[in-house]
């Protein structure tokens, strides 16, 4: 069954929506941190977003644009605003549909089913981004572009740099031994100088510093390396 991410600052409305959708078999998550909706979205990876417009910190239009930097997942706006221009803005900012409050729960359910059919059904077009972007301690990882984004800053890594980072991030906070890293980077590790890995690790460290991430890659003497995800905190290398 599909998963739905509800972004709504009215807890009563959010609970009504959540309970109704769960009754029909949907997996439902509600935003807990309305200042970090993009991060929550990347962690949850929902199939659809129900998004209010009037939110604290930033409005729904802003968050829809942020979601669109990560994914083409369908977004349905739910708002008390009934003006035609608000509906136009919702579409122009990346929304797929618009529901006005007060709403009938059957209408919400019907619109969700319709958008899901269009997006994931037999005739849906593949977006190429779905299921790829992920978040790690507020760092966004884009495997299809070899890119990392942190605090609104983005860099593109070389293929080997990205492979190395991905290997470390897949087992973050755990030690990844040198042989596993060498094998991920080169097919014939017997012919690779061990110092070559150290050089590539140092290059990756320098690239992370461009994002103001320091001390993230720890050297574990005699074993390998560990990625510490407490970005910005100096750790012993």
The per-residue b/e assignment along 133-150, b for 16 or more CB within 10 angstroms, e otherwise, is bebbbebbbbeeebebbb
pLDDT band at 187 (very low <50, low <70, confident <90, very high): low
What does the alpha-carbon distance between residue 117 and residue 223 come to, in Å, rounded to a whole number?
A: 50
Instruction: Tally Cβ neighbours within 10 Å of residue 116.
Output: 17
pLDDT at residue 196, as a whole number: 77
Least confident piece of the model among 44-48, 75-79, 117-121, 152-156? 117-121
Backbone torsions φ then ψ of 169, nearest 5 degrees? -70, -30
> Is residue 211's pLDDT more than 70?
yes
Give me the chain's average pLDDT, please: 84
Instruction: Tally Cβ neighbours within 10 Å of residue 153.
Output: 11
pLDDT tens digits along 119-153? 776 434 444 434 457 788 888 888 878 889 888 88
Omega before residue 213 within 30° of 0, cis: no
In the chain, count of helices (H) and strands (E)? Answer: 8, 12
Contact 216, 237 (CB under 8 A): no
Contact 232, 214 (CB under 8 A): yes
Residues near 43 by beta carbon (within 8 Å), at least 6 away in sequence: 134, 135
Q: Is the dihedral of CA 120, 76, 72, 149 positive or negative?
A: negative
> Max Cα separation, the chain?
68
pLDDT tens digits along 6-58? 999 999 999 999 999 998 889 999 999 999 999 999 999 999 999 999 999 99
> Is residue 234's pLDDT more than 60?
no
pLDDT band at 182 (very low <50, low <70, confident <90, very high): confident
Give the closest residue to 73 by CA, choosing from 96, 100, 40: 96
pLDDT at residue 108, as a whole number: 92
Domains of the chain: 3-120 (3.40.50.2300), 134-227 (1.10.10.10)
pLDDT at residue 132, as a whole number: 59
Instruction: Judge if pTM exceeds 0.75.
Output: no
Q: The tokens 């997942």 sit on which residue?
A: 73
């Amino acid at each position: 069954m599909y998963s739905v991410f509800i972004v709504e600052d009215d807890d009563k409305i959010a609970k009504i929506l959540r309970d109704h959708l769960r009754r029909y078999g949907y997996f439902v998550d509600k935003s807990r941190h309305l200042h970090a909706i993009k991060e929550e979205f990347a962690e949850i990876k929902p199939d659809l977003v129900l998004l209010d417009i009037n939110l604290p910190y930033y409005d729904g239009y802003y968050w829809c644009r942020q979601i669109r930097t990560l994914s083409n997942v369908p977004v349905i706006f739910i708002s008390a605003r009934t003006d035609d221009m608000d509906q136009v803005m919702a579409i122009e900012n990346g929304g797929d549909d618009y529901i006005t409050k007060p709403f009938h729960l059957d209408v919400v359910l019907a619109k969700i089913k319709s958008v899901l059919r269009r997006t994931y059904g037999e005739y849906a077009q593949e977006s190429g981004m779905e299921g790829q972007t992920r978040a790690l301690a507020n760092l966004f990882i884009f495997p299809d572009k070899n890119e990392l984004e942190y605090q609104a800053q983005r860099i593109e890594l070389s293929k080997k740099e990205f492979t190395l980072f991905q290997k470390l991030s897949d087992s973050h906070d755990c030690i990844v031994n040198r042989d596993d890293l060498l094998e991920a980077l080169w097919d014939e590790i017997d012919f690779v100088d061990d110092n070559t890995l150290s050089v590539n690790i140092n290059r990756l460290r320098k690239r992370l510093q461009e994002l103001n991430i320091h001390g993230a890659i720890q050297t574990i003497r005699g074993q390998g390396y560990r990625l510490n995800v407490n970005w910005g905190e100096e750790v012993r290398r």
